[in-house]
Amino acid sequence: MKTIRTIAELRRQVSEWRGQGMRIGFVPTMGNLHAGHFALVELARQHSDRVVASIFVNPTQFGPNEDYARYPRTPDSDIAGLADKNCDALLLPSVDEMYPFGTVGCVQMHVPGITDVLDGAHRPGHFNGVAQVVARLFNMVQPDAAVFGRKDYQQLQVIRYMATEMSFPVQIIPAPTLREFDGLAMSSRNQYLQGDERQTATFIYQTLCFMRDQRALGLPIAMIEAEAEQRLTMAGFSVDYAEIRRSDLLRAKSPDERGLLALIAARLGRTRLIDNLEFDAG
């Protein structure tokens, strides 16, 4: 696996592969990789001849009081893990390489509507930063396909919207959420959990299942959401949201509407966790 730190070197490599008629897959990450990330690489391999991964902790998607400085950075183990999964190239750029005019002077991006709810309402500007960095990475790598996990469902929808609206010739491939043996969604932030918090964190997935099951019984959405938030609060969480929405993240328009999912974001101690569960997934 090649470790590449500049856009120029990346483009030379991608151009060489394209000259050989190869299809390029892409997996953007913020590092501190775990089995869920490596599953994205394996899925990208199924859709391409060569796989490029990136590791970049993007400062523009962190708010002033968020965990950018302490976000875990483990480049050595990340590189070893990607090489073990037969990733072909790793883009490991600096902030200056990604934002040559600085993070204040960079071109701004905003995806309307879809970023105003859920995490967008609780983390103002977060999805602007996501859109900025993903658009830049798409321009740098110029992949045929890019893989994103379903765990951050709203982010996946923002990227789909942006790629379509901006006419990026990239196939967006969603990957299933990988979970620990007890249902906890795999996340780099799980390592922040202290003591009993790790066991308590599984209550998020249990609550998502409760929301799905209650909806299957025909209970009103507002009632289910209120009960879910109460359950989480009693378990020790500070809840940002526990909501049921359509796959496009709008509210359901009819009592019997299908294609819904539950989404939760909640803090446990110093750790903010997100997860979701699609109700009608086959």
What does the pLDDT read at residue 280?
77
Give 45-81 pLDDT, tens digit per residue: 999 999 999 999 999 999 888 889 888 899 999 999 9
Rounded Cα distance, 120 and 178, in Å: 24
What does the pLDDT read at residue 282?
42
Query: Binning pLDDT at 50, 70 and 90, where does residue 281 land?
Result: low
Cβ atoms of residues 241 and 225 within 8 Å: no
Domains of the chain, by residue range, sit at: 2-175, 188-278
- First-to-final CA distance of the chain: 36
Cβ atoms of residues 44 and 25 within 8 Å: yes
Catalytic residue among 34, 37, 47, 126: 37
DSSP annotation string for 257-268: --SEEEEEEEEE
Q: What is the mean pLDDT of residues 107-135?
A: 95
Q: For domain 188-278, is the CATH number 3.30.1300.10?
A: yes
Q: CATH number of the domain at 2-175, out of 3.40.50.620, 1.10.645.10, 1.20.1290.10, 3.30.1360.70?
A: 3.40.50.620
How confident is the prediction for the chain on average, in pLDDT? Answer: 96
Give 157-193 pLDDT, tens digit per residue: 999 999 999 999 999 999 999 999 999 999 999 999 9
What does the pLDDT read at residue 27?
98
Could you tell me the pTM of the whole model? 0.95
* Catalytic (active site) residue 37: yes
